[in-house]
Every structure is written in structure tokens, then in C-alpha cells.
Amino acid sequence: MEWFMGGGLIMIPLLVCSLLSLAVIAERLVSLRKSNILRPELINSITSVKGERDVPYLNAKCDEMPGSFTNIIRRVFLNPHLTREEKLIDIQATGRHEAQALERKLIILEIIATITPLMGLLGTVIGMSEVFDVISQIGLGHTKEFSGGIAKALRTTIFGLSVAIPTLVVHSSLSRKIDNVVLDMEKYTTMLLNTLYSHHGETPEYSRENV
């Protein structure tokens, strides 16, 4: 605690940033668990679809488990007049939209990883300014006070980097995880699309009203 308080007032917003980063990371790690997004029940329902007669059952499953995966699956049921290629483009566009939704809180981590080193540097500059004020008053003869002042000034930079580095690492890791999950959602939805279109060529004869 003495080490922390010796860094000055800048340490307080840095501490707030560190706590906020931990909270967002914990929430995202739970929310972005693969089993919470790629629900096994939906995957099993997709793989069990053999034709249009199974669409109502899959649609009922989607009603029970709303989410990003469900939103992409529903694109297969909408606009039945579209060709397979047009549906595939629509699915990919929806996937990008859902990726943005899953990444919505990662911007907080990105901001924290960007500003905490700058805040730490600001604290160091302020601390060094105070050190030079002391030097102007007592001179360079008191090396203990001089070195101790520099050490205190550097604490904010140390703390800022200690917050920024792990936050940036986790942000990058979660971003890659989201990309992989979205690719998996598109893969299973494309599998469903291929199954339905394989029975009726380019335009299967189902619509939202019939499911």
C-alpha cells in the first residue's frame, strides 16, 4: 500500500482502470465460452436436419435459445426466393454483424490498454517535475532524496504498463476467439443451407410462414 500511495494521485485512476479491466475480462470469458454461443442442442438439431420437414423442429429450437447463433441460422429461413449464393452472402454479412455484437465490450479493454501507459507516463512526468523542484531547493548533494524521488516518479509508469500489457494480451486473445466462433457458426449454418438446397436446387420451397 505504501508503494502504491507513493505514486501520487495518478495511481487512483490507474487502479480504477485495472479493476474495470478485470471485470470486463471476467464477464467476457464467461459470455464467450464456446458452449454458451455454439449451443450443442442447436448443433445437434442442424446435423439432424435431412430436409424441409425438419425445419419446424429446428425453428422451434431457435425460439427456445435466442442468441448470435440463432440469428445466423434464421437467415436460412428468410427470403426463400434468394439463390444459394445470395443466401451464403447474407449469412456471411450476418456473421460479421454478430461478431461486432460479441466484440462490443472489447472496446473497453482496447481503451484501457491504450490510455494506462499514457496515464503512467503522465504520472512520471509530474513526479519528475516535483523532483526537479526539490533539486532546485536543496541541490544535488542529497542523492538519497534525489534517487528516492525518481523511484516514486517511475511507479505510475510501472503500474500503467502492468495494467496495459495483460489487458492488451487478453483483448487480442478474445478477438481471435470471437473470430473463430463466428467462423464455426457460419460453418454450421452453411451446412444447413447446403442440406436444404440440395433437395430443391437453387430455391427451396419453404418460407417463414410455413415454419
102, three cell numbers: 460479441
65, three cell numbers: 435459445
- Higher-pLDDT residue of 157, 204: 157
Pick from 2-6, 23-27, 96-100, 155-159: least confident: 2-6
- Please give the Cα distance from 60 to 39 (Å, whole number): 14
What confidence score (pLDDT) does residue 86 get? 84
The owner of cell 492488451 is 168
Q: Can you tell me the mean pLDDT for 104-120?
A: 93
DSSP string, 118-139: HHHHHHHHHHHHHHHHHHHHH-
Asked if 168 and 93 touch (Cβ cutoff 8 Å), the reply is no
* Phi, psi dihedral angles at 203 (to 5 degrees): -140, 95
DSSP state of 52: G
Q: Calculate the dihedral angle through the C-alpha atoms of 94, 69, 113, 8, rounding to the nearest 10 degrees.
A: 130
The owner of cell 490510455 is 115
What confidence score (pLDDT) does residue 207 get? 45
Among 46, 182, 203, residue whose Cα is nearest residue 59: 46
Flag whether pLDDT at 167 surpasses 70.
Answer: yes
Single-letter code of the amino acid located at 144 = K
Residue 35: helix, strand or coil by DSSP?
helix
What confidence score (pLDDT) does residue 73 get? 86
Which parts of the chain fold into alpha helices (H)? 2-5, 11-31, 34-37, 40-48, 55-64, 68-77, 84-102, 106-138, 143-200
Flag whether pLDDT at 193 surpasses 80.
Answer: yes
Q: Can you tell me the mean pLDDT for 105-128?
A: 91
Q: Can you tell me the mean pLDDT for 103-121?
A: 93
- Higher-pLDDT residue of 128, 70: 70
Among 130, 178, 184, 189, residue whose Cα is nearest residue 154: 130
Residue 211 pLDDT level (bands cut at 50, 70, 90): very low
pLDDT, averaged across the chain = 82
- Please give the Cα distance from 192 to 209 (Å, whole number): 19
Among 190, 192, 193, 185, residue whose Cα is nearest residue 34: 185
User: What pTM was estimated for this model as a whole?
Assistant: 0.76
